[in-house]
Amino acid sequence: MKQTRRTRSDSAKAAVQASQAAALGPLQPPAHVTLPDAAVPFWNAIMLNRPRDRWNDADLAIAAVMARDQAAVERLQTELLNEPDVIDDKLNPKHKLVETLARRVVANARALHVHAEATTGRSQNQGKALELEQAARQQADDDLIPRLVAVK
């Protein structure tokens, strides 16, 4: 079976495809997948961490599980803010649920290749970008250096 070649990421065609994909926004879950409202922000974040044309239905189903798990972690952690960590001399069982769900989220992020190293690169390569950003912050007081300013 012959595979089609992917478009080079530095080509004009790739730039056009990227612009079109960005205009369409995040992918929607497949019809056979249930996604509660609380999971939608997590779904959107997951969808934007991989090019639109690289998702298939099986990956979308796993992404929905990941988004639901992230929403459940958020809900449980919010509940734990108002509950004691220890109940009747035992750890609140919600802590175990949060840990289990968090592990599933990490495993699914690796399976989908949307984890930090896949999306931002190796940590050893982040140093120079961080140095540049820190230097830019230090120069923020110098009115003679032109810079971009966020408008609110």
Residue 25 within any structural domain of the chain: no
Mean pLDDT for 28-32 is 91
Task: Report how far residue 40's alpha carbon sits from residue 52's, in angstroms, rounded to the nearest whole number.
Answer: 17
**pLDDT band, very low/low/confident/very high, at 48 (cuts 50, 70, 90):** confident
Number of domains composing the chain:
1
The helix or strand, by DSSP H or E, that contains position 76, with its residue range, turns out to be: helix 57-80
Mean pLDDT for 6-13 is 66
Per-residue pLDDT reduced to its tens digit, 88-130: 999 999 999 999 999 999 999 999 988 766 566 665 655 666 6
Residue 43 within any structural domain of the chain: no
Tell me which residue range forms the domain holding 93.
55-121
Per-residue pLDDT reduced to its tens digit, 11-20: 676 666 666 6
Residue 108 within any structural domain of the chain: yes
pLDDT of residue 55 exceeding 70, the answer is: yes
Residue 87 within any structural domain of the chain: yes
Residue 74 within any structural domain of the chain: yes
Specify the pLDDT at position 9.
62
Task: Note whether 104 and 98 are within 8 A (CB).
Answer: no
Residue 24 within any structural domain of the chain: no
Inter-helix orientation angle 57-80/93-112, to 10° = 150
Residue 79 within any structural domain of the chain: yes
Rounded to two decimals, what is the model's pTM?
Answer: 0.70
**pLDDT band, very low/low/confident/very high, at 61 (cuts 50, 70, 90):** very high
**What does the mean pLDDT of the chain come to?**
81
Residue 60 within any structural domain of the chain: yes
First-to-final CA distance of the chain? 54
Specify the pLDDT at position 54.
85
